Amino acid sequence: MDDHHDAGPEPMLERLIFFSDAVFAIAITLLTIEIGVPHLRRSAGVSEHLAALAQRLPNFIGFLVSFAVIAAFWNGHHRAFGLARSYAPGVKAPNFQLLCAIAFMPFATAYMSENFGAVVPTFTYCLLLLVTGLLNVRLIRLVTSAPYVSPTAPVDEVAVVRLRGWGVVLGAAVGLAMSLIQPALAQMMLGTIPGWIWLLQRSVRPAVSKVSGG
Amino acid sequence: MDDHHDAGPEPMLERLIFFSDAVFAIAITLLTIEIGVPHLRRSAGVSEHLAALAQRLPNFIGFLVSFAVIAAFWNGHHRAFGLARSYAPGVKAPNFQLLCAIAFMPFATAYMSENFGAVVPTFTYCLLLLVTGLLNVRLIRLVTSAPYVSPTAPVDEVAVVRLRGWGVVLGAAVGLAMSLIQPALAQMMLGTIPGWIWLLQRSVRPAVSKVSGG
Amino acid sequence: MDDHHDAGPEPMLERLIFFSDAVFAIAITLLTIEIGVPHLRRSAGVSEHLAALAQRLPNFIGFLVSFAVIAAFWNGHHRAFGLARSYAPGVKAPNFQLLCAIAFMPFATAYMSENFGAVVPTFTYCLLLLVTGLLNVRLIRLVTSAPYVSPTAPVDEVAVVRLRGWGVVLGAAVGLAMSLIQPALAQMMLGTIPGWIWLLQRSVRPAVSKVSGG
Amino acid sequence: MDDHHDAGPEPMLERLIFFSDAVFAIAITLLTIEIGVPHLRRSAGVSEHLAALAQRLPNFIGFLVSFAVIAAFWNGHHRAFGLARSYAPGVKAPNFQLLCAIAFMPFATAYMSENFGAVVPTFTYCLLLLVTGLLNVRLIRLVTSAPYVSPTAPVDEVAVVRLRGWGVVLGAAVGLAMSLIQPALAQMMLGTIPGWIWLLQRSVRPAVSKVSGG
């Protein structure tokens, strides 16, 4: 890692990062709370238990997808703020808006999982994801600009971090469209997010390596 | 940002700030837990789902308002402790009193949202907000005084941070009065909080800028 | 504050403190989760709402008492670890045992509050408090000894921090005895904890001030 | 402690550790949430209360076992990352995979406890533990290798930390086998974990002490 990684963010920024981490961590861990725990009668056999678990399959998938999504948002937050050094009050509002959307994820996940295949819950979930993605793109753009960004932050890393943020937006948009056509497949569309990120990152890397090579 | 921002708080104060952040973060993220997730039968159509969401509208508004309110309190805490450097045991009790009120917010929010338009729940919520606001004002005054405050903290910033704290108190007082007249509109009154903060901040800024200009 | 406060704990100890703080913060904020939110029918009047709140009075008192108790334990943890500098693996087990008891507080609180005045729940709560108090005393003794404690930690402060820990133990013991006689008054006995702490602290202070004066 | 303990991890790694701690702390504290609080009628006597508690015995044991298990995973994480200094993005995915398994522990614990003695829930729990253990072994191996590990990390400590991770895997494997034969005894098998850790640690220590003695 580069030199600029060794100096941490200033205290006021560090506390904001810390607070954000706590919200991310709570939201990601609360995801399982909404999965109802199956309570079968004592005499229930293996097949009954497997049936009860199978019935909750949408909840398990919903948990995994939302875990991956929140992890992706944390990832972007971690990368973007890793390039920031200075604090200014202007970062608070956009950061809180992102956190508000993240805090709403457990509800949206449970709503979609409990009503698997229904249009409205799936559309709501994908819409929330799209909004969160846009709030995320805006926040990342902000903290990788003056006065927040480290003066020694490599230009190519800033470009990559900003572009990557669009991956979730694109995936959520595809999911949103699919939720109107075939809701049961919408979550699968979110699986394209890593692909989008890879494509976006690739589009900037060649140009970037030339710059850093120059 | 000024020089005094670069030195962080001493370890004992930092831990207190950290602990407070965790409580703020948990309270703000737990707000959604109390919103019951609609579970409709498989054959439910779009209109039924929209009706179920519409029925939870007070819960969604309650979530957003309380999220904004807790964010405002965190904001004040962040600004005030950003000016503090030294630790003394006397900060613990007032800080815990504020955190106790914050920890109670999810309950008060759910109580008001579940009984939208009722006098007692709305009054309770606004009263809690008023009390929290006063505890907040007292804590901010304390940590922006000796022995906590940084000797290099700008006088004008101290004045602004202290005055801003009254914004929530004023908004909550208006909401409290409205809860007795027209409970359904009380939450809307809380929307005046940013206005109060702006007015208060403006009242001190001109004098302040002359001072810093002098 | 003394010089030894300025140097923070070493990283491995800092992470342990951080993790403990998170557990304390979650346990203290989860206390409200178990208070059932009253949901009355739309036409319910003021008196019905007040009755519903009055019925939950034990839950509110339970919340406040447990909040104060967990705050007291955090306080002791904060003071004791504030005197510590070095890390050794031996601190983990006693720290986890204390955290395990703290994590159980929301359950014990809800159990007592939901069955206000019953012997078993009240006894269970006070017993948990007594055990937590003893685990706390042991942990505090450990971290204010070598190899954990700062070589520059003032002898009198170590003595005070250790003695204060017995305050919760004494209060919990009185509460435990009362839970067998008159359970409804047991929680009130816990209100003697600050008194015990004050008495214990006073017993060491005179000797101590002579030492530091000498 | 050795010199290499005094320098903390670099900021990007520190934030990742911090975030992980928050997830560990929330998962470990949420364990009690799923234990239903007994609510008996006012006239219920001591014997009825004791019966209600006895009925929840599997839940209490499940809480204690899972608390110990998550504590063991945190312990391994703490030790392994205590030897790490540098950050690279490659640590994120394996760390998130471990955290995902940890976040699922409260659900798996409640599922097993609510259906005590049933094959499927017990098998599911032990399987989750086995998978978590393997993810943990992989993560520990990663962060105790270049480029993460401190260049001054003692070779013997790296060896011990890596070996210890297999303790949970072995215990979980025994529990998994037992869950198919006698589910009610499977949790007891997890009690062998400290024994496995001790054995594994012992197998490496003699060689190690010769090295450090040489």
Note whether residue C16 is domain-resident: yes
Within 8 A of B38 by CB-CB distance, chain A residues are 111, 114-115
Stated pTM of the model: 0.93
Distance CA B138, CA B147 (A): 15
Count of helix runs (H) and strand runs (E) in chain A: 10, 0
Partner residue opposite B22 with nearest CB, options C6, C21, C75: C21
Q: Would you say residue D4 has pLDDT above 90?
A: no
**Average pLDDT for residues C96-100, to the nearest whole number?**
97
Q: With an 8 Å Cβ cutoff, are D114 and A37 in contact?
A: yes
Q: With an 8 Å Cβ cutoff, are A40 and D118 in contact?
A: yes
pLDDT, tens digit, 9 for 90 and up, residues C52-70: 999 999 999 999 999 999 9
pLDDT band at B206 (very low <50, low <70, confident <90, very high): low
Q: Would you say residue B214 has pLDDT above 60?
A: no
Instruction: Give the containing element (helix H, strand E) for A76.
Output: helix A57-82
Within 8 A of B86 by CB-CB distance, chain C residues are 1
pLDDT at residue C209, as a whole number? 47
pLDDT, tens digit, 9 for 90 and up, residues A201-212: 888 765 544 444
pLDDT, tens digit, 9 for 90 and up, residues B122-173: 999 999 999 999 999 999 999 999 999 999 999 999 999 999 999 999 999 9
A98 CB within 8 Å of a chain B CB: no
| Dihedral sign, Cα of residue A200, residue A201, residue A202, residue A206 | positive
Distance CA D2, CA C206 (A): 40
Give the residue from A72, C31, C19 showing the smallest Cα distance to D93: A72
Q: Would you say residue B98 has pLDDT above 90?
A: yes
Within 8 A of D85 by CB-CB distance, chain C residues are none
Give the residue from B39, B59, B50, B36 showing the smallest Cα distance to A119: B50
Q: Would you say residue C198 has pLDDT above 60?
A: yes
B97 CB within 8 Å of a chain C CB: no
Give the residue from C100, B52, A54, C203 showing the smallest Cα distance to D71: C100
Note whether residue C52 is domain-resident: yes
- Contacts for A184 with CB less than 8 Å, ≥ 6 apart: A116, A117
What chains are in contact with A, requiring at least 3 Cβ pairs below 8 Å? Answer: B, D
Give the residue from C114, C101, C130 showing the smallest Cα distance to C189: C130
D54 CB within 8 Å of a chain C CB: no
Note whether residue D55 is domain-resident: no
Count CB neighbours of D96 within 10 A. 25
Q: Would you say residue B21 has pLDDT above 70?
A: yes
pLDDT, tens digit, 9 for 90 and up, residues D22-61: 999 999 999 998 888 999 998 889 999 999 999 999 999 9
Do you find a cis peptide bond into D147, omega within 30 degrees of 0? yes
Higher pLDDT, D195 or A99: A99
Count CB neighbours of B147 within 10 A. 12
Count CB neighbours of B116 within 10 A. 17
Q: Would you say residue D8 has pLDDT above 80?
A: no
pLDDT band at D206 (very low <50, low <70, confident <90, very high): low
Question: Which residue of D1, D6, D29 to mutate against C (max C Cβ within 10 Å)?
Answer: D29
Q: Would you say residue C2 has pLDDT above 70?
A: no
Q: What 3-state DSSP class applies to B189?
A: helix
Q: Which A-chain residues 70-89 have CB contacts (< 8 A) with chain D?
A: 71, 74-75, 78-79, 81-82
Q: Distance of CA D55 to CAs B177, D49, D50, D204, Å?
A: 49, 10, 9, 44
Would you say B114 and C37 are in contact if contact means Cβ atoms under 8 Å apart?
A: yes
Question: Which residue of A120, A131, A132 to mutate against B (max B Cβ within 10 Å)?
Answer: A120
Note whether residue C91 is domain-resident: yes
Instruction: Tell me which chain C residue has its CA closest to the CA of residue D21.
Output: C19
Partner residue opposite A26 with nearest CB, options B8, B29, B35: B29
Note whether residue D135 is domain-resident: yes
**Average pLDDT for residues B69-73, to the nearest whole number?**
96
Distance CA B208, CA C25 (A): 38
> What is the DSSP track for A175-206?
HHHHHHH-GGGHHHHHTTHHHHHHHHHHHHHH
Note whether residue C211 is domain-resident: no
pLDDT band at C191 (very low <50, low <70, confident <90, very high): confident
Note whether residue D96 is domain-resident: yes
Partner residue opposite C37 with nearest CB, options B12, B89, B110: B110
**Average pLDDT for residues D59-70, to the nearest whole number?**
95
Within 8 A of C115 by CB-CB distance, chain D residues are 38-40, 44, 49
Q: What 3-state DSSP class applies to D149?
A: strand
pLDDT, tens digit, 9 for 90 and up, residues C120-143: 999 999 999 999 999 999 999 999
Distance CA B123, CA B177 (A): 8
φ/ψ (deg, to 5) at C42: -55, -35
Q: Would you say residue D3 has pLDDT above 50?
A: no
Q: How many domains does chain B have?
A: 1
Q: How much is the mean pLDDT over chain B?
A: 90
Give the residue from C92, C121, C118 showing the smallest Cα distance to C34: C121
Note whether residue A213 is domain-resident: no
Host domain of residue A111 = 7-35+44-208
Identity of the amino acid at D161: V
Any bridge partners for residue D141, and if so which? none
pLDDT at residue B207, as a whole number? 53
Distance CA B83, CA B158 (A): 8
Q: With an 8 Å Cβ cutoff, are A106 and B75 in contact?
A: no
Of the listed ranges A133-137, B106-110, C172-176, D193-197, the least confidently predicted one is D193-197
**In chain A, which stretches have pLDDT less than 70?**
1-7, 205-214
- First and final C-alpha spacing in chain D: 19
pLDDT at residue A116, as a whole number? 92
Q: Which two tokens mark B85? A: 């450097």
pLDDT at residue D6, as a whole number? 52
Count CB neighbours of D184 within 10 A. 13
